[in-house]
């Protein structure tokens, strides 16, 4: 493996072609540009809407209280599906133009690697309403149908990306920011006066496992699971220990990680797993206009705790560095990231890339 960085998350503006070109120019292989998410284009373009656009045999519409399932496809459903197809095709055009110009040479005729961020089924259930207006999370049958629809649709989406963009390798991040709240029974009902009953461990494992299986069947080379918090023993048992569908790694938040978290991260690396490592805090990202931590500081943020564990420096090859873990959280966090100026957003991407490069150089010299 090679220590890399990725541009998973949101970008400011409304021009996907421009965002894709900027990422492609700054993130040559082995780093991973993404299919940029542009919240400034509106609710039809966010991560939730993109997930809804992937649903197989289910449709959704936008209401005054958010997205809900509907009996038949309408204008909202057609719009989100059209935008997702168009976004993938636009990304393909950008990558094709770079290949023709010789900017991204590849002996195998494939474009550089790519990362896709997909919302997982549990968070989708927490954010999508039934036709009645209540959260999908409240109904067992609706949960089962939604998980199956998302798994099938995600596989079709990946197939479209592969055909259009021809990446040399494809990394998929399953993002589950509401996983812990759903497991703990902290998701509010639509009225807000009570919370929805906690979702059992076996059911959550089955729903996420279904999506993992679908992505594996579609040939995705690397599947990472970001549960929006610390990696617990339960997560390793459910999604890494071989009891069922297994991911290649997990997301961790380096700036807030304590000693126990670093020890678990070391265990992951020793097992050959990838560590999707958020290197910046939300406050640091928000202040990107005025200044970010230097590359040397960010490199120490990774290297010093690793050294204290007595781990070999080359174990950091398993790390995939990204910016702030808030890139996939609720709308306030996403809007904050999208509100950055374009130069500031690119400064975050290049600072994380340069940190990965600096750590790679240290590994080579060791």
- Tracing tokens 């991040």 back to the chain, one arrives at 173
pLDDT of residue 191: 83
- Tracing tokens 């409304």 back to the chain, one arrives at 14
- Residue 332 — pLDDT band, cuts 50, 70, 90? very low
pLDDT tens per residue across span 267-308: 999 999 999 999 998 888 888 878 899 999 999 999 999 999
Cα gap 249→271, rounded to integer Å: 10
**Alpha-carbon distances of 84 from 14, 77, 80, 223, rounded to whole Å:** 14, 11, 6, 21
**Alpha-carbon distances of 174 from 15, 121, 133, 227, 317, rounded to whole Å:** 25, 9, 26, 8, 21
- Rounded to an integer, the average pLDDT of 11-16 is 93
Kindly report whether the global pTM for this prediction surpasses the value 0.85. yes
Cα gap 151→214, rounded to integer Å: 6
CB 346 within 8 Å of CB 323: no
Least confident of 104-113, 231-240, 328-337, 339-348: 328-337
- Rounded to an integer, the average pLDDT of 164-174 is 96
pLDDT of residue 57: 96
Nearest to 118 by CA among 202, 60, 46, 181: 46
CB 170 within 8 Å of CB 114: yes
Give yes or no for residue 338 having a pLDDT over 70. no
Give the helix ranges, DSSP H, for the chain. 16-26, 47-53, 75-101, 121-127, 140-165, 179-183, 201-217, 233-239, 259-270, 282-286, 295-308, 331-338, 342-365
pLDDT tens per residue across span 119-155: 999 999 999 999 999 999 999 999 999 999 999 999 9
């Amino acid at each position: 493996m090679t220590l890399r960085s990725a541009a998973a998350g949101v970008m400011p503006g409304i021009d996907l072609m421009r965002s894709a070109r900027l990422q492609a120019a700054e993130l040559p292989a082995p780093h991973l540009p993404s299919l940029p998410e542009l919240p400034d284009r509106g609710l039809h373009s966010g991560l939730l809407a993109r997930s809804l656009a992937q649903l197989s045999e289910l449709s959704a519409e936008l209401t005054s209280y958010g997205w809900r399932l509907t009996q038949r496809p309408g204008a909202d459903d057609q719009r989100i599906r059209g935008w997702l197809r168009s976004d993938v095709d636009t990304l393909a055009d950008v990558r094709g133009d770079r290949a023709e110009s010789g900017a991204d040479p590849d002996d195998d005729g494939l474009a550089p690697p790519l990362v896709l961020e997909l919302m997982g089924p549990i968070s989708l259930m927490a954010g999508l309403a039934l036709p009645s207006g209540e959260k999908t999370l409240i109904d067992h049958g609706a949960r089962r149908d939604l998980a199956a629809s998302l798994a099938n649709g995600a596989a079709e989406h990946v197939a479209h990306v592969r055909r259009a963009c021809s990446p040399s390798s494809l990394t998929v991040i399953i993002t589950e920011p509401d996983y812990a709240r759903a497991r703990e029974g902290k998701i509010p009902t639509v009225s807000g006066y009570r919370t929805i009953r906690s979702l059992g461990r076996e059911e959550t494992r089955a729903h996420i496992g279904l999506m993992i299986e679908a992505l594996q069947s579609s040939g995705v080379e690397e599947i990472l699971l970001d549960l929006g918090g610390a990696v617990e023993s339960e997560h390793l048992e459910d999604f890494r220990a071989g009891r069922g569908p297994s991911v290649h790694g997990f997301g961790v938040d380096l700036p807030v990680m304590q000693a126990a978290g670093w020890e678990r991260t070391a265990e992951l690396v020793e097992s050959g797993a990838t560590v999707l490592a958020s290197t910046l805090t939300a406050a640091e990202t928000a202040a990107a206009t005025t200044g970010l931590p230097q590359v040397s500081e960010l490199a120490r943020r990774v290297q010093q705790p690793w050294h204290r564990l007595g781990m070999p420096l080359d174990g950091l090859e398993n790390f995939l560095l990204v910016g702030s873990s808030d890139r996939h959280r609720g709308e306030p966090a996403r809007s904050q990231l999208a509100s950055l100026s374009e130069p500031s957003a690119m400064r975050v991407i290049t600072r994380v890339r340069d940190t990965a490069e600096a750590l790679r150089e240290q590994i080579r010299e060791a």
